[in-house]
Structure 1
């Protein structure tokens, strides 16, 4: 068992959200669904209370907390992708059903969770100050990232 697992708060959509996330991120699965044993703030007995799931090996929890809580950009989930096809697939999956695109590869999914979908190479591209500055300048003008354009900025 992982020592630390992020717990995402939902108002009745914990299982639905976990199903979306595990369908979009390769190597992911729902590992446990716990139902309410008695009526409580999260809903009546028998309703889903907690969903344990793994995204690319990382353990997460999704809790039906019984009221709506707003997420902020202070916490986001980053998905590193290898190529544009994977970026497009993950981006489109997380945007499905009412997500909202944001600047620099960020989006909010339909539940309000903030995600960053970025190329794995971005860390390497940002190591060199001059080349990294060109990459950052290109990135600042994007919503969904275009890997070819970012790589071209890195190449100069």
Structure 2
């Protein structure tokens, strides 16, 4: 059992959000639905995305998500970046540098693993070129990162 579980506050859309997220990730499932009484409204939905457990709370309109907290997705390749970027941003907002807000207002970072590798290069010129390239992107483009890296002699 994981020690820390993110609780996500939704304005009456915990079930809808959970169904959306579970439909996007290949290794995902609803773990539990807690209701207020046997036939009462849903209070929380516990779900897992790729082994990470979350709880979605039907908390009401008092609080909204902000970019101060985001969910980071490390992607293996461009196909994974493309799929997650499109599915999560549908009905939401596409931002800069791999950040987006989904239709529920939750912020995500969709980032290929190679970005960290290229930006960790011991040559600060190469790492800097990759960082500059990333700053011009919305969805991260691996080939664009690699091209920026390769242009530094």
With normalisation by structure 1, the TM-score equals: 0.90
* Structure 1 residue aligned with 2:28: 28
- What is the deviation of 1:35? 1.1
Counterpart of 1:151 (choices 146, 149, 152) is: 146
Taking the aligned partners of 1:68 and 1:112, their CA distance within structure 2 comes to 14
Aligned residues: 149
The answer on whether the counterparts of 2:10 and 2:64 sit within 8 Å (CA) in structure 1 is no
The superposition leaves residues 14-65 of structure 1 with CA deviations (integer Å, 9 ceiling, x where unpaired) of 0111111122122111111111229xxxxxx611110101111011110001
Taking the aligned partners of 1:34 and 1:123, their CA distance within structure 2 comes to 39
Taking the aligned partners of 1:71 and 1:61, their CA distance within structure 2 comes to 15
Counterpart of 2:96 (choices 88, 103, 108) is: 103
Is there any run of 5+ residues in structure 1 with no aligned partner, and where? 39-44
- What is the deviation of 1:11? 1.1
| Segments of 4+ moved more than 2 angstroms | none
Is 1:60 paired with 2:54?
yes
Distance 1:68 1:25, change over 3 A: farther
With normalisation by structure 2, the TM-score equals: 0.91
Please, what is the CA RMSD of the aligned residues?
Answer: 1.4
Is 1:15 paired with 2:15?
yes
